[in-house]
Structure 1
Amino acid sequence: MNLSSNRESGLTLITLTLLLGLIAFITLLVLKIAPIYIDHSKVKSALTGVEQMENIETVTREEVWSSLEKRFNMNYVTDVTKDNVRVTRRGGYLKVEIEYEVVKPIVGNLSVLVNFYEIIEVGQE
């Protein structure tokens, strides 16, 4: 009997199934988490827009929220509410803080939680 010293190599069906399952899970995570960060970039863009408003030192809290709300509506941002926005005004100083969290279900009872905190400060106290 002639035994070959070379062993066959390659992926078995079980290894291939596990590898494809891992790739599918990573793809699922990316598809669930990427939109969260895309929306957050829109929130940062809205804050930058508020920071560049004309006469920013004289606008009221309501005008700041109104401007942010218009920008959020235009960009379809639904994760930020008025309760997540704090506007502080003292004289010519304006500080806008946005702190919010997003919870997205992944599979079954597995979810992802992402916390965000953004701040702008304009003017002198």
Structure 2
Amino acid sequence: MKRNQGGMTLIGFILVLAVVGVFAYMGMKLIPMYSEFHTVKQSLKAVANEPGITTQDPARIKDLFFRRLYVSYSESVKPEHVKISRKDAGYLITVDYEVRKPLIANLDVVGRFQTEQEVRRARDAGAY
């Protein structure tokens, strides 16, 4: 009786490692972009929850937002990417930016991110 061995050859193993390596490398480029976007969203929520924020002028709100981003080491969002407009009794803060990172040789990965946060006055505790 002849027994056949089954399994992966060395060349097959090297090819699988190469494919996994390429995906891992792409993940190392993409994950920081999405992590930074998460930081932007968390900073917007924190600014919206700041007491008395609706009484502040847009320049002060933008300053508070960028201070939170500075603490989080976020570098992709610039002042020209942030728009603050009046909406009802508060503001609408829109952040729209693009991140471009080199991938391999002349190929780039481009991430386009956009998020909004409404800033409203808190209701009075007794008025419902």
User: What TM-score does the superposition give when structure 2 sets the normalisation length?
Assistant: 0.86
**Number of aligned residues:** 121
The one of 82, 96, 101 aligned to 2:93: 96
Q: Is the 8 A contact 1:61 1:89 kept in 2?
A: no
1:20 aligns with one of 2, 17, 20: 17
So what's the TM-score if we normalise by structure 1?
Answer: 0.88
- Give the Cα–Cα distance (whole angstroms) in 1 for the partners of residues 68 and 36 of structure 2: 12
SS across alignment from 2:86: strand
1:52 and 2:49 aligned: yes
What does the per-residue CA deviation read over 1:9-32, in whole Å, with 9 as the maximum and x for residues that have no partner? Answer: 221222111101011111101111
Matched AA of 1:77: S
SS in 2 for 1:37: helix
Query: Shift of the alpha carbon at 1:47?
Result: 0.1
- The equivalent of 1:30 in structure 2 is 27
Larger Rg belongs to: 1
Query: Cα RMSD between the aligned structures?
Result: 1.7
Gaps of 5+ in 2: 122-128
| Moved >6 Å (runs of 4+) | none
Contact 2:48 2:120 in 1 (8 A): no
Match of 2:107 in 1: 110
Seq. identity, %? 26
1:85, 1:96 within 8 Å by CA — same for their partners in 2?
Answer: yes
Amino acid at match of 2:100: V
String of CA shifts for 1:65-110, please: whole Å, max 9, x gaps: 1001111111100000011000002562211000111111111112
